[in-house]
Protein backbone atom coordinates (compact mmCIF):
# COMPACT_ATOMS: atom_id res chain seq x y z
CA UNK A 1 0.00 0.00 0.00
CA UNK A 2 1.88 3.03 -1.27
CA UNK A 3 1.16 6.46 0.17
CA UNK A 4 0.32 9.16 -2.35
CA UNK A 5 1.07 12.85 -2.16
CA UNK A 6 3.87 14.58 -0.30
CA UNK A 7 5.47 12.34 2.32
CA UNK A 8 5.35 13.37 5.96
CA UNK A 9 3.42 12.65 9.12
CA UNK A 10 0.14 10.77 9.13
CA UNK A 11 -2.36 10.94 12.03
CA UNK A 12 -0.80 8.09 14.03
CA UNK A 13 2.68 9.58 13.72
CA UNK A 14 1.54 12.89 15.10
CA UNK A 15 -0.51 11.13 17.76
CA UNK A 16 2.51 9.34 19.20
CA UNK A 17 4.55 12.52 19.55
CA UNK A 18 1.56 14.41 20.94
CA UNK A 19 0.75 11.77 23.57
CA UNK A 20 4.38 11.71 24.71
CA UNK A 21 4.31 15.50 25.07
CA UNK A 22 0.95 15.45 26.87
CA UNK A 23 2.33 12.96 29.39
CA UNK A 24 5.48 14.97 29.89
CA UNK A 25 3.97 18.41 30.47
CA UNK A 26 0.28 17.61 31.02
CA UNK A 27 -2.39 18.14 28.38
CA UNK A 28 -3.25 21.73 29.28
CA UNK A 29 0.37 22.77 29.74
CA UNK A 30 1.32 21.40 26.30
CA UNK A 31 0.82 24.26 23.85
CA UNK A 32 0.33 23.66 20.16
CA UNK A 33 3.51 25.67 19.72
CA UNK A 34 5.83 23.35 21.64
CA UNK A 35 4.00 20.38 20.14
CA UNK A 36 4.78 21.75 16.67
CA UNK A 37 8.43 22.21 17.69
CA UNK A 38 8.72 18.59 18.80
CA UNK A 39 7.18 17.48 15.53
CA UNK A 40 9.49 19.74 13.52
CA UNK A 41 6.41 21.34 11.96
CA UNK A 42 4.60 24.64 12.07
CA UNK A 43 1.57 24.93 14.35
CA UNK A 44 -0.82 25.16 11.44
CA UNK A 45 0.46 21.93 9.90
CA UNK A 46 -1.02 20.03 12.83
CA UNK A 47 -4.48 21.28 11.82
CA UNK A 48 -4.12 19.49 8.52
CA UNK A 49 -4.27 16.20 10.45
CA UNK A 50 -6.54 17.10 13.37
CA UNK A 51 -9.32 19.66 13.59
CA UNK A 52 -8.43 20.67 17.17
CA UNK A 53 -6.21 19.96 20.14
CA UNK A 54 -9.21 18.29 21.70
CA UNK A 55 -9.48 15.84 18.83
CA UNK A 56 -5.90 14.68 19.34
CA UNK A 57 -6.77 13.88 22.94
CA UNK A 58 -9.95 12.12 21.86
CA UNK A 59 -8.11 9.79 19.48
CA UNK A 60 -5.52 8.96 22.11
CA UNK A 61 -8.09 8.20 24.81
CA UNK A 62 -10.11 6.10 22.36
CA UNK A 63 -7.06 3.95 21.66
CA UNK A 64 -6.42 3.37 25.37
CA UNK A 65 -10.06 2.59 26.17
CA UNK A 66 -10.44 0.28 23.17
CA UNK A 67 -7.44 -1.77 24.26
CA UNK A 68 -8.70 -2.08 27.83
CA UNK A 69 -12.21 -3.03 26.74
CA UNK A 70 -10.63 -5.56 24.38
CA UNK A 71 -9.35 -7.51 27.39
CA UNK A 72 -12.89 -7.97 28.70
CA UNK A 73 -13.98 -9.19 25.27
CA UNK A 74 -11.27 -11.83 24.94
CA UNK A 75 -12.21 -15.50 25.22
CA UNK A 76 -10.30 -15.89 28.50
CA UNK A 77 -12.57 -13.34 30.17
CA UNK A 78 -15.68 -15.38 29.37
CA UNK A 79 -14.69 -18.99 30.11
CA UNK A 80 -13.86 -20.88 33.29
CA UNK A 81 -14.51 -20.02 36.91
CA UNK A 82 -14.96 -16.42 37.99
CA UNK A 83 -11.52 -16.65 39.62
CA UNK A 84 -9.97 -17.77 36.32
CA UNK A 85 -11.70 -14.97 34.42
CA UNK A 86 -10.66 -12.36 36.97
CA UNK A 87 -7.10 -13.62 36.78
CA UNK A 88 -7.23 -13.23 33.00
CA UNK A 89 -8.56 -9.68 33.25
CA UNK A 90 -5.96 -8.57 35.80
CA UNK A 91 -3.10 -9.97 33.72
CA UNK A 92 -4.64 -8.56 30.55
CA UNK A 93 -4.93 -5.12 32.10
CA UNK A 94 -1.25 -5.18 33.10
CA UNK A 95 -0.34 -6.32 29.58
CA UNK A 96 -2.34 -3.53 27.90
CA UNK A 97 -0.96 -1.01 30.33
CA UNK A 98 2.61 -1.95 29.44
CA UNK A 99 2.00 -2.27 25.69
CA UNK A 100 0.04 0.98 25.44
CA UNK A 101 1.85 2.74 28.26
CA UNK A 102 1.66 6.36 26.96
CA UNK A 103 -1.99 6.08 25.90
CA UNK A 104 -3.18 4.52 29.16
CA UNK A 105 -1.06 6.97 31.14
CA UNK A 106 -2.86 9.82 29.43
CA UNK A 107 -6.24 8.20 30.11
CA UNK A 108 -5.49 7.85 33.81
CA UNK A 109 -4.75 11.56 34.12
CA UNK A 110 -7.97 12.79 32.57
CA UNK A 111 -10.03 14.85 35.01
CA UNK A 112 -13.25 15.59 33.15
CA UNK A 113 -12.92 19.23 32.14
CA UNK A 114 -14.18 18.92 28.57
CA UNK A 115 -16.84 16.81 26.86
CA UNK A 116 -14.15 14.57 25.39
CA UNK A 117 -12.72 13.95 28.85
CA UNK A 118 -16.12 13.32 30.41
CA UNK A 119 -16.99 10.77 27.73
CA UNK A 120 -13.70 8.99 28.35
CA UNK A 121 -14.33 8.91 32.11
CA UNK A 122 -17.80 7.45 31.53
CA UNK A 123 -16.34 4.70 29.35
CA UNK A 124 -13.71 4.00 31.98
CA UNK A 125 -16.39 3.74 34.68
CA UNK A 126 -18.28 1.24 32.54
CA UNK A 127 -15.11 -0.84 32.30
CA UNK A 128 -14.65 -0.74 36.06
CA UNK A 129 -18.25 -1.77 36.56
CA UNK A 130 -17.78 -4.90 34.45
CA UNK A 131 -14.70 -5.81 36.50
CA UNK A 132 -16.59 -5.18 39.74
CA UNK A 133 -19.28 -7.63 38.58
CA UNK A 134 -16.54 -10.21 38.03
CA UNK A 135 -15.22 -9.65 41.56
CA UNK A 136 -18.75 -10.15 42.90
CA UNK A 137 -19.02 -13.45 40.99
CA UNK A 138 -15.73 -14.65 42.46
CA UNK A 139 -16.96 -13.76 45.95
CA UNK A 140 -20.24 -15.62 45.39
CA UNK A 141 -18.28 -18.56 44.04
CA UNK A 142 -16.33 -18.65 47.30
CA UNK A 143 -12.87 -18.12 45.85
CA UNK A 144 -12.48 -14.50 47.03
CA UNK A 145 -12.96 -13.29 50.60
CA UNK A 146 -16.34 -11.60 51.10
CA UNK A 147 -15.57 -9.37 54.08
CA UNK A 148 -14.53 -6.42 51.88
CA UNK A 149 -16.97 -4.50 49.68
CA UNK A 150 -16.70 -5.48 45.99
CA UNK A 151 -16.27 -1.87 44.90
CA UNK A 152 -13.44 -1.33 47.34
CA UNK A 153 -11.79 -4.53 46.15
CA UNK A 154 -12.02 -3.50 42.50
CA UNK A 155 -10.69 -0.03 43.23
CA UNK A 156 -7.75 -1.29 45.28
CA UNK A 157 -6.92 -3.85 42.59
CA UNK A 158 -6.90 -1.29 39.81
CA UNK A 159 -5.29 1.29 42.06
CA UNK A 160 -2.38 -1.10 42.28
CA UNK A 161 -2.42 -1.90 38.55
CA UNK A 162 -2.92 1.66 37.32
CA UNK A 163 -0.09 2.95 39.50
CA UNK A 164 2.28 0.99 37.28
CA UNK A 165 2.18 3.84 34.74
CA UNK A 166 3.88 6.04 37.31
CA UNK A 167 7.11 4.09 37.37
CA UNK A 168 7.23 1.27 34.78
CA UNK A 169 9.53 2.00 31.84
CA UNK A 170 10.09 -0.48 28.97
CA UNK A 171 13.48 -2.16 29.01
CA UNK A 172 13.69 -2.13 32.80
CA UNK A 173 14.47 -5.23 34.79
CA UNK A 174 10.84 -6.26 35.13
CA UNK A 175 9.09 -7.47 31.99
CA UNK A 176 5.33 -7.38 31.62
CA UNK A 177 4.73 -11.04 32.50
CA UNK A 178 6.80 -10.89 35.66
CA UNK A 179 5.00 -7.72 36.64
CA UNK A 180 1.59 -9.34 36.12
CA UNK A 181 2.74 -12.28 38.26
CA UNK A 182 3.76 -9.90 41.05
CA UNK A 183 0.47 -8.01 40.92
CA UNK A 184 -1.62 -11.20 41.02
CA UNK A 185 0.57 -12.64 43.78
CA UNK A 186 0.14 -9.59 46.02
CA UNK A 187 -3.56 -9.27 45.25
CA UNK A 188 -4.50 -12.89 45.84
CA UNK A 189 -1.98 -14.23 48.38
CA UNK A 190 -0.72 -11.05 50.04
CA UNK A 191 2.76 -10.17 51.19
CA UNK A 192 2.78 -11.89 54.57
CA UNK A 193 4.82 -15.04 55.09
CA UNK A 194 2.51 -17.59 56.76
CA UNK A 195 3.48 -18.13 60.41
CA UNK A 196 2.07 -21.68 60.32
Partner DNA sequence: CCACTTACCAACCGATCGTTCAGTTAGTAT
Partner DNA sequence: ATACTAACTGAACGATCGGTTGGTAAGTGG
Q: Please, is 69 exposed, middle or buried when counting C-beta atoms within 10 Å of its C-beta (0-12, 13-18, 19+)? A: middle
- Residues 5-34 vs its own copies: string with x where CB under 8 A? -------------------xxx-xx-----
Axis crossing angle, helix 101-108 with helix 11-25, rounded to the nearest 10: 50
Report yes or no: 10 and 49 within 8 Å, Cβ to Cβ: yes
Cβ neighbours of 14 (radius 10 Å): 21
Rule CB under 8 A: which of 133-172 touch its own copies?
142-145, 147-149, 152-153, 155-156, 158-164, 166-167
Residue 111 as a binder of its own copies (CB under 8 A): the answer is: yes
Among 26, 33, 112, 159, the residue binding DNA under the rule CB under 7 A is 33
> How far apart are CB 111 and its own copies at their closest, in Å?
5
Residue 187 as a binder of its own copies (CB under 8 A): the answer is: yes
Which residue lies nearer to its own copies by CB, 40 or 142? 142
Report yes or no: 81 and 87 within 8 Å, Cβ to Cβ: no
Amino acid sequence: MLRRGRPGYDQQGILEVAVAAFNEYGYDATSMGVLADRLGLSKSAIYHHFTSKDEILERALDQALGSLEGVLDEAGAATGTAADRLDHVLRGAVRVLVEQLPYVTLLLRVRGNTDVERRALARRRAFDKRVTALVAEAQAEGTLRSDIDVRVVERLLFGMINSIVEWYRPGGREDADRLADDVVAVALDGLRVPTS
